[in-house]
Amino acid sequence: LVLLVGAESLMGSFLHLLWRDPGFRSDHLLTFGIGMPETEYTTAGEIAFCDRLLDRLKGFPGVQAAATGMPLPLEGEQMSVSFDIEERPSAAPERPHSDMAIVTPGYFGAMGMALRKGRDFTGRDDATAPRVLVVNEAFARKYFPGEDAIGKRVMPGATNGKEEMRMREIVGVVENARQEALAAEPEAIYYFPYKQLSWGIGTFVLRTAVPPLEIESTARAALTGLDAEAAMYQVRTGDQLAT
């Protein structure tokens, strides 16, 4: 009897994990990383290469949207950075921390993450533009309870090594996408536009109108067409990412 009860409890926990919403649409999604020759590309060169590849991918039949993100949902707490809230400044040791990600314009649409309020990043959010952020609903509720997070300003501790920390305005709120599969609740996360905080090329995500693996060879050809030494790795569908 004890073994049966234990097995039932374990199965219930397993099914709960299966039914838990990851916060993005896993269907018709292809993801992959790329490796670049390290000695040939500056930060500006990586950004330009990423833009060219995304432009090519977006033009292929069967590709509805293309973007990059670092890290993707369900990849764990890879980047957590402290920040200061402009209207409630704290001493450095007491500043809150949050997960972060760096994404290109159109990332949320490609991942199938709904924009709840405000706007997405655009190509105009570059190094010459005012510094901006998009946050998820968990971030907005945790750090601005009962308030509208749009227009709030925070100063993240993350920099690109070329400038001091700067205040950034929250311009959008998106639905929660889990970083940790086993987390009891969605984690707070804030998103940076990749042209304002480039730490290398992120993982590519393609929203497809056909079975996603049908696009793999086309994407690989587009990559090597731009740089014969570039390599594609860790090719996964959204369903594989979500399991």
pTM over the 0.85 mark: yes
- DSSP summary character for residue 168: E
By C-alpha distance, which of 197, 195, 190 is closest to 99? 190
- The tokens for 218 are 């086309």
Residue-by-residue pLDDT tens, the chain, 243 positions = 444 444 444 443 433 344 467 889 999 999 999 998 876 788 889 999 999 999 999 999 999 999 999 999 988 667 888 999 999 988 878 899 999 999 999 999 999 999 999 999 999 999 999 999 999 999 999 999 999 999 999 999 887 766 678 899 999 999 999 888 767 788 999 999 999 998 889 999 999 999 999 999 999 999 999 999 999 999 999 999 887
b/e burial code for range 213-234 (CB count within 10 A of at least 16 → b):
eebeebbbebbeeebeebebee
Identify whether 105 is preceded by a cis peptide bond (ω within 30 of 0): no
- DSSP summary character for residue 88: B
